[in-house]
Amino acid sequence: MMKIIVVVGDQFIGRGEKITVGEAVNGGGKSGRVDVLDFAKTDIAGKVNPCCYFPCQHWGVCVRYGEDRYECDCTRTGYYGKNCTIPKFWTRVHDFLKPRPDVVHYILTHFHWIWDVINHTFLRDVLMRLVLTVRSNLIPSPPTFNSKYGYLSWESYYNLSYYTRILPPVPEDCPTPIGVKGKDGLPDPELLVESLLKRRTFRPDPQGSNLMFAFFAQHFTHQFFKTYNRMGLGFTKALAHGVDAGHVYGDNLQRQLKLRLLHDGKLKYQVIDGEMYPPTVAEAPVRMSYPPGVAPEDQIAIGQEVFGLLPGLGLYATLWLREHNRVCDVLKVEHPTWDDEQLFQTARLIIIGETIRIVIEEYVQHLSGYLLQLKFDPNLLFNTDFQYGNRIALEFSQLYHWHPLMPDSFFINGDELNYPQFLFNTSVLTRYGVEKLVDAFSRQVAGQIGGGYNIHSVVTPVAVGAIKESRQLRMQPFNEYRKRFNLKPYTSFREFTDNEEVALTLEEFYGDIDALEFYPGMLLEKTRSGSIFGESMVEMGAPFSLKGLLGNPICSPGYWKPSTFGGQVGFDIVNSATLQKLVCLNSRTCPYVAFRVPQSEKGDIRTDEL
């Protein structure tokens, strides 16, 4: 008896069954003849948009012709065939030799003695260049799709008001919200968050990430994650799609000028107890997002309008304000003839350079858990095929909702502050001061991001909003993104998570692993052993991050030289930047500061150790 198999990408569906390509060729594992037909030519498909099946594999682009015909554009994918599933010769060789991501991760996080040798030889540069190029090549440059258009358009490239996106949206005329898989409706987002993401008991990050790390993540990313829903879905306020220090200087010239002292290149400030802090809104009249009734004298003026929300964000704003003004003093000595504008602009470039170095060599280093010592050296890419410039993707914005990092309460100098005492309370910053906040945040562990059940109830509405946004913008399912980033798609919820309760609930909510949404997938995936999150967050997040950092103009051959930063003195500031220096050169004492809680109490670090 003949069995009819329907083609859907590199899998086949027949009467409720799903089997692999190999099984189809071998009779589906059973005796009898198997005929493979194009699904668009069968009665099963009807008039369903064939692109709803996501038939094109390996980065192939689905182009619809009429109601029931499609073609996959396999150009430069390394594959050919109806659905871009047949590898070319060199693709076969590459795939055969390429180790799996979990194997690479294991090697990079084990064998200390080997990495101790590598980190002190030329091999460190070789491997760092490989990390940068392999990761960055996963991000299209120039961008392809954006948050509005599911096909290439001039708007996708030219209109910076949109977030770009890696995969086009799910077609609007598909049978289910996620394509053809799963149930007719998606689970209620409030119920989804309440059932699977809301914290039950605080679960600390096994990597030891602390609140200094958590607030850095939030402070750093809000210079380019600036969703502008007042314009419509998928819009961003960011004029620059990357590290521009707009969270320090403002995202437009008008705001910048109100924050500037307009003398010696410096930013406005106020002095409290002999120390420098951001000015009040009364002194620098910029719009800040505070609750109604908070007087301008009680609001601090910062480049990012929402940074009055958390004292941890105000802490970093204070540190970068002090660092900017300190750098201006250094440049003024070196260049006594420079005017205010040149001092300001050069100091800003130095701050951007310091930021990128700290992010790569300390922040990303901590996240990765790699024993390979990461290195910020733009020279590594000068002889490679690397395109400078960057666009922030919707998927990057979605996956960076790391609210599980937030604790149940905040411990500062022996005091415990709950959320009502902490939120929008500028006095926390000025009452405790920089040193006490840095020390407290560096010693308090943050929450584990992956694995579910770890978002504090105060911030669960943000998770609900992220899910609603992804649905309105019709993001493709989690497994399609796994394939886009060269990861094996999960075949079941029990493979996806090691928590039986999570697996059963997801089965009830979605019905099919291929219907699982992107954001819940990122937050609920089983974590790697001893890690802050799962495989997908690393393998998808790292390419966005590294492409954005190294794609910055200051990293290009035309910019990366001493004269850009005011000479060798400014260049040295960039090339020696650390989190410890950022704090200790801008405070009276030098508290414990790191992105990881201390393994043992070692006391204060002296300034002369810098």
What the block records as the tokens of 555 is: 């990293």
144-179, pLDDT tens digit by residue?
998 788 899 998 888 888 888 999 999 999 999 999
Percent of the chain predicted with pLDDT > 90: 76
19 bridge partner residues: 12
Confidence class of residue 298 from pLDDT cuts 50, 70 and 90?
confident
Q: Which of 242-246, 265-269, 427-431, 600-604 has the lowest mean pLDDT?
A: 600-604
Number of neighbouring beta carbons within 10 Å of residue 364: 18
Confidence class of residue 20 from pLDDT cuts 50, 70 and 90?
very low
The answer to whether 520 and 182 have CB atoms below 8 angstroms apart is: no
Write out the H or E segment, with its range, that includes residue 272: strand 270-272
The answer to whether 168 and 145 have CB atoms below 8 angstroms apart is: yes
What is the predicted pLDDT for the residue at 141? 87
Does the pLDDT of residue 42 top 60, yes or no? no
106-150, pLDDT tens digit by residue?
999 999 999 999 999 999 999 999 999 999 999 998 889 987 888
Q: Which of 136-145, 187-196, 257-266, 320-329 has the lowest mean pLDDT?
A: 136-145
Percent of the chain predicted with pLDDT > 70: 89
Chain Cα centroid distance, residue 270:
33
What is the predicted pLDDT for the residue at 68? 85
Does the pLDDT of residue 7 top 80, yes or no? no
69-79, pLDDT tens digit by residue?
999 999 999 99
Dihedral sign, Cα of residue 367, residue 368, residue 373, residue 379: negative
Q: Which of 25-39, 181-195, 322-336 has the lowest mean pLDDT?
A: 25-39
What is the predicted pLDDT for the residue at 309? 87
Does the pLDDT of residue 36 top 50, yes or no? no
Chain Cα centroid distance, residue 185:
28
51-61, pLDDT tens digit by residue?
999 999 999 99
Catalytic residue, candidates 249, 290, 363, 400: 400
Size of the chain, expressed as the number of residues it contains: 610
For the chain, the average pLDDT equals: 88
Write out the H or E segment, with its range, that includes residue 537: helix 535-550
Catalytic residue, candidates 105, 222, 324, 401: 222
Confidence class of residue 15 from pLDDT cuts 50, 70 and 90?
very low
What is the predicted pLDDT for the residue at 238? 66
Confidence class of residue 46 from pLDDT cuts 50, 70 and 90?
low
* 6-10 average pLDDT score: 39
Is residue 400 part of the annotated active site? The answer reads yes
Q: Which of 35-49, 126-140, 187-201, 378-392 has the lowest mean pLDDT?
A: 35-49
Tell me the whole-structure pTM to 2 decimals: 0.88
* Apex 63 CA angle, 62 and 69, nearest 5: 105
What is the predicted pLDDT for the residue at 228? 64
211-253, pLDDT tens digit by residue?
999 999 999 888 888 776 655 567 777 667 888 999 999 989 9
Alpha helix stretches (DSSP H) within 359-477: 365-368, 394-399, 419-422, 427-443, 460-472
Q: CB-based contacts of 206: which residues, under 8 Å, 6+ apart?
A: 448, 530, 531, 532
Is residue 324 part of the annotated active site? The answer reads no
Integer Cα distance of 112 and 118 in angstroms:
10
466-482, pLDDT tens digit by residue?
999 999 999 999 999 99
Integer Cα distance of 332 and 323 in angstroms:
14
